[in-house]
Amino acid sequence: MAEDLVVAQGSKEEQYHALIPQIAALISLETDLVANLGNIAAALKEQFNWFWVGFYLVQKDELVLAPFQGTIACTRIKKGKGVCGSSWVQKQTLIVPDVEQFPGHIACSSQSRSEIVVPIIRENEVVGVLDIDSEKLDQFDLTDQVYLEKIVALIDLS
Ligand code: SME
């Protein structure tokens, strides 16, 4: 694989269109989950320069911090708690335009203002989430949801 990510310019759709085949190629030859989650987080961070991009994986009744890019973060989130735990329970992507308006939001960083959490679902069970934070309000929309759901679908958790 190429060592350098080609960082695309243009609309958000154009950026995802350029990024997704690169992520697919990046993880296709590697079977190690930590390696692949690390590279996906890095590729998303490099393309979009969001404040925080990372994964939490389900362990029993908690989400546990997994590979990420950004500032230090909460290590464990109970099922149903925060945006991440709510996405787990609801089995759906949650877009939060203003984290201060989300009841129970867990502030791992005071700099986070908006957030999207995409559940990773296998055999109808949530096995983890992709969590992305921005230091700007209202940074995530349906376009992000559509493409980030495609990205998490690429992850091989077997
Ligand atoms: N804000 C998240 C916690 C994880 S950090 O943002 C990395 C939440 O409310 O679940």
Phi/psi for 80 (5° steps) reads: 90, -10
In three state form, how does the secondary structure of 61-87 look?
Answer: CEEEEEEEECCCCCCEEECCCHHHHHH
pLDDT of 96 reads 98
| 84 residue type, one letter | C
Q: What pLDDT score does 82 carry?
A: 97
**Per-residue pLDDT tens listing for the chain (158 residues):** 557 999 999 999 999 999 999 999 999 989 999 999 999 999 999 999 999 999 999 999 999 999 999 999 999 999 999 999 999 999 999 999 999 999 999 998 899 999 999 999 999 999 999 999 999 999 999 999 999 999 999 999 88
**CA-derived radius of gyration, the chain:** 15
Distance, CA of 8 to CA of 30 (rounded, Å): 24
Decide if 67 contacts 44 (C-beta within 8 A).
Answer: no
Element containing residue 150 per DSSP (H, E): helix 142-153
Place of tokens 């296998």: 122
pLDDT of residue 158: 81
Which numbered atom of ligand 1 lies nearest the CA of 52? 7
**Nearest ligand 1 atom to alpha carbon 85:** 10
Handedness of CA 67, 133, 42, 25 (dihedral sign): positive
Measured CA distances, 57 to 41, 54, 68, 79 (Å): 14, 10, 12, 11
Site residues for ligand 1, CB cut-off 6 Å: 52, 73-74, 77, 82-84, 105-106, 108, 112, 115, 131, 133
Cα angle for residues 93, 98, 44 (degrees, 5° grid): 55
At position 71, the amino acid (one-letter code) is T
H/E segment holding residue 48: helix 33-48
| Among protein residues, the one whose CA lies closest to atom 2 of ligand 1 | 106
pLDDT of residue 3: 72
**Per-residue confidence (pLDDT) for residue 62, from 0 to 100:** 98
Instruction: Give the domains, in start order, of the chain with CATH numbers.
Output: 12-153 (3.30.450.40)
Q: Give the position, in ligand 1's atom list, of the atom nearest the Cα of 105.
A: 9
- The ligand 1 atom at the shortest distance from the C-alpha of residue 106 is 9
* Ligand 1 centre distance from Cα of residue 138 (Å): 16
For ligand 1, atom 6, the nearest C-alpha belongs to: 108
Cα–Cα distance measured from residue 144 to residue 18, given in angstroms and rounded to the nearest whole number: 14
Q: From ligand 1's centre to the CA of 132, what distance in Å?
A: 8
